[in-house]
Structure 1
Amino acid sequence: MSENRVEQVELLSSDNDSYGGVVVKIEQPVDPKIFPSLLRASISQWRQQGKKGVWIKLPIEHANLVEATVKEGFRYHHAEPDYLMLVLVVQEISGKFKGTGVWKFPTGVVNEGEDFCTAAIREVKEETGIDTEFVEVLAFRQSHKSFFSKSDLLFICMLKPRNFDIEKQNLEIEAAKWMPIEDYSAQPFNQKQELFNYVAKICLSKSQKNYTGFSPLATTTGSGKVSYLYFNNQDNNHLVTSDNQPLKV
């Protein structure tokens, strides 16, 4: 290569998603010998662009690229009969709320095999440094054909703090603070977005003791497996245990 010539590195074709990341759909045949270098160069470019996550959709006819993809740090997300989804998360502060000034609840994704009541405690700890204990499920929303055409459950949970000194996670959280529920509810974003408006109203009602959610009750099967039953505990005098004692949670 001459001194005046600049080498052009080919990148994988991608589309931006709604969460600050990119989605790569491998549709044309790719030489598995050159795919690793294409992927590495593309990841480097996406990092420079501040992309939060990279999703690669590999149709079954391109299964020969799975090994190279996994070696670059990707992990299985979900599979369908005709394709496999892999995911890599990069550590950037981004997303649709970046730069908007909107204050939102800590959120996160439940790990495989993890109860969502445990996940809520973990995510709050990771993002804010606050230790909590689970209290109630205030509400939940179910949607279908959302992210990657999958069904999704969003749980709005109430936790009780065990400490109040915030130690935010610098990799994901720009700022964290305690805010009166009235101020949270009054944000223009919450007033304009129907889902967030309902959630804010539920939280306000809970703060005024006019609302009762669903509390978790640990149950054990004959094999010793523990699961949780969530129920309204407002009037537990009508519920009794097997030894005819009032049910408390």
Structure 2
Amino acid sequence: MPVNYTEDAFNGLIIDTNTIPTDSVEFGASLTNILAYSAENNKGITWLTLPIEKSHHVGRATALGFIYHCCQAHELTLVHKNQPAQFVPFIPSHTVGAGALIKNSAGEILVVQEYGMTGYKLPGGHVEQGERIEDAVLREVLEETGIKCEFVSVLGFSNKHPYKFGKSNLYFICELRPLHNHIQILDTQEILDARWISLADFQRDAKNSAYNHELFSALFNLSGLQPQALENNKGAHKKLEIFFANHKDGLL
């Protein structure tokens, strides 16, 4: 019986753990066929999770180019990358994402539509390990829309659990100020469309999620936590980023 797999939303393959045989020769043959399909179809990452009772397959997998990704008490996950530079999400206790609320001089909001979505959302994405939230959200907006911005504040954040790999996800919503209005999508593999839209038009569009309707309305006229550079933030325990609220009189 062949080992089954599914295609994920990121052009990768996820091997069905339940179909992995006990026999190593049979497993190796199926894995070889899956990797051949992955290469022929320009897939990115192939994910393989081995339960502890099938850990004897690790040698077969690593011989075919799989590397370790993460380990839990009763299973080990390995990944295979067709391209050495292919990004593999890391596996901490939390992942971090950042989205951007960006308004132009006409009061319009910048929104994006990913492939597979029916509606629009804030531009943004994954904060890489060791990356500042400020830098990540500016980078993601540039990749998705081609618009350069400057960072203003953190308007809020959400916590989702469970998320990928059964971990939690912190999602920071940031206010950015656009330096121009011209849209040019750079990440054409992920982003189908990007546009400026009035809040009223966004809210009238039933294809946009009810959650995003509420989110956009709640944040539209807020000011948030602003980045701070503290004189004594140094040494072994230096913070990567610090955000403070404004004083009640409006002065920092």
TM-score range, shorter chain: 0.5 to 0.7
The amino acid across from 2:157 in the alignment is F
CA distance in 2, matches of 1:75, 1:171: 27
1:167 is displaced (CA, Å) by 1.5
TM-score by length of 1: 0.68
Q: 1:52 to 1:40 in 2, by over 3 A?
A: closer
Relative distance call for 1:223 and 1:201 in structure 2 (3 A) is same
Q: 1:85 aligns with which of 77, 91, 94?
A: 77
Say if 2:227 is the partner of 1:216.
yes
Instruction: Assess if the C-alpha contact under 8 Å between 1:129 and 1:166 holds in 2.
Output: yes
Letter in 1 for 2:49: K
> Cα distance, 1:99 vs. partner?
5.6
Residues 21/101 of structure 1: CA separation in 2 closer, same or farther (3 Å cut) = same
Letter in 1 for 2:14: V
| Secondary structure, aligned partner of 1:105 | coil
Aligned to 1:56: 48
**Residue matched to 2:89:** none
Distance 1:119 1:67 in 2: 33
Structure 2 unaligned residues grouped into runs of 5+: 87-112
What does 1:194-233 align with in structure 2 at a 5 Å threshold? 195-204=211-220, 206=221, 211-219=222-230, 220-223=233-236, 225-233=238-246
Aligned length: 213
SS of aligned partner of 1:119: helix
Equivalent residue letter for 2:181: F
Structure 2 Cα separation of the partners of residues 135 and 104 of structure 1: 19
Which of the two has greater strand per residue? Answer: 2
Letter in 2 for 1:28: P
Q: Distance in 2 between matches of 1:17 and 1:231?
A: 39
Which blocks of at least 5 consecutive residues in structure 1 are unaligned? 1-9, 238-245
Per-residue CA deviations over 1:113-141 (Å, capped at 9, x if unaligned) read 11222111111111111111211222211
Give the equivalent residue in structure 2 for 1:243: none
Residue equivalent to 1:142: 159
Q: TM-score scaled to structure 2, two decimals? A: 0.67
Cα 1:184–1:21, aligned 2, differ >3 Å: closer, same or farther? Answer: farther
